[in-house]
Amino acid sequence: MNLSDFDYILPPELIAQYPGENRSDSRMLVLRRKDGSIEDRRFNELPDIIDATYFLVVNDSRVFKARLFARRPTGGRVEIFLVRRQSGSAWQVFLRPSAKIKLGERLFFDGGDSVCVLDSPGTEERLIEFAAPHREAEIIERLGQVPLPPYIRRDVAAVDVDRYQTIYADETGSVAAPTAGLHFDLSILERLRVRDIEMEKVTLHVGPGTFKPVTAERIEDHVIEPESAVISPAAAEKINRHKEQGKKLLAVGTTSVRTLEAAAAEGRLRPYADLVGLYIYPPYRFRMVDALLTNFHLPKTSLLMLAAAFCGRDFLMAAYRHAVEQKYRFYSYGDCMLIL
């Protein structure tokens, strides 16, 4: 398929700049693959739409304050975006601006702490090392900012510390939130529990590559940057048991889908602790996932292609046109879609 098959027009005012007042009050567009229907609902109706024949799998990765600001010895301001730990106190990062920062240069934070640049310009990602490894965690927590995506065109606010994080986040390591999970609150989890709808957790630490636009005109030529994922033996056992009982797996978010599908083998899920570079686009035969809860995604992204693989490109794009017409809120802090 061609990249142009996954483009659509979105009025900028539909891009959510702030979270809604309550997590679970988001609108939810329900797509039913069996009859091709589209229905406008609310996320807080989820426990009434599904029943105990379903179980949920969520991504419990926690977002950390990946965006830091420092100064060069000349006084110039530099953004340091932490991408992933390389080893010890060394990190792969994006430096902005980067071109003039040289090998061995030291960048200073407010308070005197610093990092040293360990490689030369020339690649998109650079390598830095904290000068005081024992203070690394404290520096990130004290000086770091929530790494909001670039389409949220405002400064980070106090509300983002709580709301750009799922309520069940546990394992720290993501530079972007698994946003489909942002709609859950304690009341929804309790209503699901009362209805005997169980929830299992897997982990995929979201990196910036997940959201990188596809540029290859033939979509199959795109490559996704691998991300670290874990499925514990206990979680794999429970998920397999649910499937053996005939229950339907509702994956919360595209990151959960990619983790589950990467670890599936011959109809069963295996414990997993490795990188996931699985790129899902039409046509793809899903081995584990029966239903999908997902936010609305940017045009020409692998996330949109995964959703299209799950329900069909034409059906998905018709749903997006409906969402635009009905003025749904889009992207990280926006509304969601349930594909059954």
pLDDT digits (tens, 9 = 90+) for 87-114: 888 999 999 998 889 999 999 999 899 9
Domain 67-143 has CATH 3.30.930.10: no
Give residue 181's pLDDT: 98
Superfamily of domain 3-63+160-339: QueA-like (3.40.1780.10)
Confidence at 333, pLDDT banded by 50, 70, 90 = very high
Average pLDDT over residues 199-224: 91
Banded model confidence at residue 86, pLDDT cuts 50, 70, 90: confident
What is the 3 state secondary structure string of the chain? CEHHHHCCCCCHHHECCCCCCCHHHCEEEEEECCCCEEEEEEHHHHHHHCCCCEEEEEECEEECCCEEEEECCCCCEEEEEEEEEEECCEEEEEEECCCCCCCCCEEECCCCCEEEECCCCCCCCEEEEECCHHHHHHHHHHHCECCCCCCCCCCCCHHHHHHCCCCCCCEEEECCCCHHHHHCCHHHHHHHHHCCCCEEEEEECCCHHHHCECCCCEHHHCCCCCEEEEECHHHHHHHHHHHHCCCEEEEECHHHHHHHHHCEECCEECCEEEEECCCCCCCCCCCCCCEEEEECCCCCEHHHHHHHHHHCHHHHHHHHHHHHHCCCCECCCCCEEEEC
Confidence of residue 250 (pLDDT cuts 50, 70, 90): very high
Q: What does the pLDDT read at residue 231?
A: 98
pTM: 0.94
- pLDDT tens-digit series, residues 129-156: 999 989 999 999 999 999 999 999 999 9
Q: Domain boundaries in the chain?
A: 3-63+160-339, 67-143
- The pLDDT assigned to 121 comes to 77
